[in-house]
Amino acid sequence: MKNIRINLLPPEVVELQKKKQERTKLLIVVGALCLLVITAFGTLFALTKINQSETNRLRVERKDWEQRVKLYEPYAKALEDIKANQRIANQAVGTPADWAEMLKSIGVNIPEDVWLTDLTATFKPSSPVNNSGDKGQNNGNIINNAVNGVMNATNGTNSSNESSENQMIIHGVAFSYYAVADWLEAIRQVKGLSDVRSQYAADENAQQPSQVRFEIRATIIPKTLPEPPKPKVVN
């Protein structure tokens, strides 16, 4: 059986109910849209506040770093002055060789069947080039000329050959060529020497036991001077 519903309400009341239902649906839709707009606005407002807070923090941090930079400016200038003075001192004195470590290593590595008869070292300290820039370039040229004049006067107008500068010559006697070769290999491991080579080795005694006279030559490397310490940044 079919259910038959008969609305006995007047048409005016039915029309009012329909309008009320439509008004309720419209209010629900409008409320949902308002809630969505309020939620979006609240999210944007919160993100804006966060960005403003981060911007203010970065602004304060930047001011703090600017104050630190101004605080360390005198120390940075003092460090540059120290480096400039060290360059001038290096130009006047030159870069020395590490004689103590070099001679110690040579003495420790001498084999039992090798004897030294003579050791000669000729070393001319190198004068590093001033790369401090345009500032103070004229002063650097004056210093270079003065240093070159002193070095020329000391060395007798540079009468020595370039091949004899920064060179070590070792003369000695050994029981065999093998001993000379072993010691030559040991000298090549000494810090501060390069281009270590045997100039000659000859058995000058025909009788037994044999005696091999030899000459070893090497190039002396200047010692690297330490740089001035860098200032520590305190957080």
pLDDT tens per residue across span 120-175: 888 776 554 444 444 444 444 554 555 455 445 444 434 344 446 788 899 988 88
pLDDT score, position 95: 63
Q: Where are the domains of the chain?
A: 11-93, 99-126+139-220
| Rounded CA separation 109/33 (Å) | 92
> Could you give the dihedral angle defined by the CA atoms of residues 149, 150, 154 and 155, in that order, rounded to the nearest 10 degrees?
-40
In CATH terms, the superfamily for domain 99-126+139-220 is General secretion pathway protein M, EpsM (3.30.1360.100)
Q: What is the mean pLDDT of residues 17-43?
A: 88
Q: Which residues have a Cβ under 8 Å from the Cβ of 104 and sit 6 or more positions away?
A: none
Is 86 or 226 the better-scoring residue by pLDDT?
86
* E runs forming strands in the chain: 114-122, 167-174, 193-203, 212-220
Length of the chain: 235
